[in-house]
């Protein structure tokens, strides 16, 4: 039975949607927007039913005016299919292509309580016990996801993920030798494809809610699709999702634990080679997506210091890709070149270091807990100042790289990338490996030298 009501504000829209879904009038508090959600808005609100009982719910909606109703309907279908096989997901309470006051495709679900911040899950003492089995739990939950009935999920994309990734990369028209190496290696070493299953597409710390007992909720199904299920396991092993910690699965466990949980749920245990291939694919995927995100700023589509800063992190994934493929050459360090200066000290690089240190140590703590968004942006600024200072201190290394390029009869790294793509040179050639490794290491020593301190591929 539909409930008669008027709607205007966002709160009114949520009230109307839930009242229609429940068949009784719902009282709604003031919505509050939560952080997170790269492409969707997330709002929390307390509701109260006719019986007087209250509960917290979450609204996910597209930005008004930029909705994708098909994608939202697909997300709802994924949540329901996953729930049907026991995956811990929020229950969908209401959804629609639009509603007055909400003004965009949306879904309303119950609020699941748990921690999602990676550094807390990796380090806080309250999660000491759960960390002993969390990697296995993640494998088990992925096995549940992959056992979902796909009969209602025909709207999901089922194209070849490597073809799609290459199309994104080619569309940017910015050839990079490391990407070409990754593409050729992946095509040369691809394992047999498993039958299509529901693939979450972004299963990692940050997208799961965890309490002291284990996983309470799997969130953010925006990238879900149909495909080889081992893609999810490989993505979880990508070094970027370890957030600086050493253990190879999300920075909290071993690949053996992950596979133990997956085998317990599915009876299937992927081979080491199969998992390795999908981890390499995931590493290349993050490399290309990072490059794509930075281009949103650099190309003028969106003015964002966050997106701009990602451009300097692409070399981290280049390094990780060469490392996982066993193609990282022990390239010599390029010599530092410090030009003489007319000016007194502190030098320009020292000034940048001093400013960055003051912002980090004296200004940022004042914002802690009160202005989280501003503190986050300040941290990005500090990192960029550090990059600028290291680049000034490193001097110009283009002459050394030009010599290495000339030895391969190439005029630029883009030229080398094109030659790798067409098979004119082999990525296994020692001179090719030396050049790619040298250039990647030179960029990484400036962008994030700490990334070099964790050399082992666990």
Give the model's confidence band at 354: pLDDT under 50 very low, under 70 low, under 90 confident, else very high: confident
Provide the token pair at 243. 């957030």
Instruction: Identify which has the larger pLDDT, 65 or 387.
Output: 387
Q: Give 195's Cβ-side CA count (13 Å radius).
A: 6
78-82, 174-178, 296-300, 454-458: range with lowest mean pLDDT: 454-458
From the list 124, 73, 119, 68, the residue with the least C-alpha distance to 95 is 73
Does the pLDDT of residue 220 top 50, yes or no?
yes
pLDDT tens column, 224-254: 999 999 999 999 999 999 999 999 999 999 9
pTM of the model: 0.89
Provide the CB-side half-sphere exposure for 214 (13 A, CA): 13
Q: Given the DSSP bridges, would you call strands 54-61 and 41-48 parallel, antiparallel or unpaired?
A: antiparallel
271: Cβ–Cβ under 8 A, 6 or more apart, which residues?
Answer: 191
The predicted model gives 199-216 an average pLDDT of: 96
Can you tell me whether residue 389 is helix, strand or coil? helix
Q: Work out the average pLDDT over 340-349.
A: 73
Q: Label the pairing between strands 106-110 and 32-33.
A: unpaired
Average pLDDT over all residues of the chain? 90
How many other C-beta atoms are found inside a 10 Å radius of the C-beta of residue 389? 21
Report, as an integer, the average pLDDT of 260-288.
98
Q: What is the pLDDT of residue 331?
A: 60
Average pLDDT value for residue range 68-81: 95
Q: Report the range out of 35-39, 44-48, 181-185 with the highest average pLDDT.
A: 181-185
Say yes or no to pLDDT of 313 above 80: yes
Whether residue 132 is predicted with pLDDT greater than 60 in this model: the reply is: yes
- List the beta strands (DSSP E) in 134-283: 197-199, 208-211, 214-218, 225-227
Q: What pLDDT shows up at residue 2?
A: 40
Share of the chain above pLDDT 90, in %: 71
Which CATH superfamily does the domain covering 10-110 fall into? Phosphorylase Kinase; domain 1 (3.30.200.20)
- Predicted confidence (pLDDT) at residue 260 exceeds the cutoff of 50: yes
The DSSP symbol for 229 reads T
Ranges of each domain in the chain: 10-110, 348-394
Structure-model confidence comparison of residues 453 and 268, the more confident one: 268
How confident is the model at residue 356, as a pLDDT?
84
Q: So what's the pLDDT on residue 352?
A: 84
């Amino acid at each position: 039975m539909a409930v008669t009501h008027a709607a205007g504000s966002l709160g009114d829209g949520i009230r109307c949607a839930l009242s229609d879904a429940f068949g009784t009038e719902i009282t709604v508090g003031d919505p509050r927007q939560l952080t997170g959600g790269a492409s969707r808005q997330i709002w929390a609100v307390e509701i109260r039913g006719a019986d007087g009982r209250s509960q917290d719910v979450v609204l996910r909606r597209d930005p008004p005016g930029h909705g994708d109703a098909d994608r939202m309907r697909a997300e709802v279908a994924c949540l329901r299919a996953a729930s049907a096989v026991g995956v811990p997901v929020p229950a969908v309470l209401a959804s629609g292509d639009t509603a007055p006051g909400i003004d965009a495709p949306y879904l309303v679900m119950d609020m699941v309580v748990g921690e999602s911040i990676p550094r807390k899950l990796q380090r806080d003492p309250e999660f000491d016990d759960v960390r002993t089995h969390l990697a296995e739990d993640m494998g088990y939950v992925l096995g549940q996801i992959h056992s979902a009935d796909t009969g209602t999920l025909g709207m999901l994309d089922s194209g070849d993920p490597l073809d799609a990734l290459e199309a994104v990369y080619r569309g940017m028209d910015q050839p990079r030798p490391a990407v070409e190496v990754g593409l050729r290696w992946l095509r040369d070493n691809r394992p047999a494809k498993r039958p299509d299953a529901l693939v979450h597409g972004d299963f990692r710390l940050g997208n799961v809610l965890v309490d002291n007992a284990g996983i309470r909720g799997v969130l953010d199904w925006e990238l879900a699709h149909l495909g080889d299920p081992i893609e999810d396991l490989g993505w979880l092993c990508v070094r970027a999702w370890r957030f600086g910690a050493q253990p190879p699965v999300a920075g909290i466990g071993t690949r053996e634990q992950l596979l133990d949980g997956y085998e317990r749920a599915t009876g299937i245990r992927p081979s080491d080679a199969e998992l390795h291939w999908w981890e390499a694919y995931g590493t290349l995927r993050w490399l290309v997506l990072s490059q794509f995100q930075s281009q949103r700023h650099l190309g003028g589509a969106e003015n964002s210091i966050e997106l701009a800063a990602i451009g300097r992190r692409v070399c981290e994934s280049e390094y990780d890709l060469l490392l996982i493929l066993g193609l990282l050459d022990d390239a010599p360090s390029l010599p530092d070149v410090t030009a003489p200066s007319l000016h007194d000290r502190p030098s320009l690089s020292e000034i940048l270091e001093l400013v960055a240190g003051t912002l980090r140590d004296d200004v940022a703590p004042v914002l802690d807990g009160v202005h989280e968004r501003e503190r986050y942006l300040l941290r990005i600024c500090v990192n960029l100042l550090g990059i600028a200072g290291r680049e000034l201190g490193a001097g110009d290394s283009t002459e050394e790289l030009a010599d290495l390029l000339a030895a391969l009869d190439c005029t630029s790294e883009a030229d080398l990338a094109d030659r790798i793509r067409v098979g004119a040179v082999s990525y296994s050639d020692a001179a090719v490996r030396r050049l790619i490794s040298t250039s990647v290491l030179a960029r990484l020593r400036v962008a994030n030298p700490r990334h070099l301190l964790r050399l082992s591929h666990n």
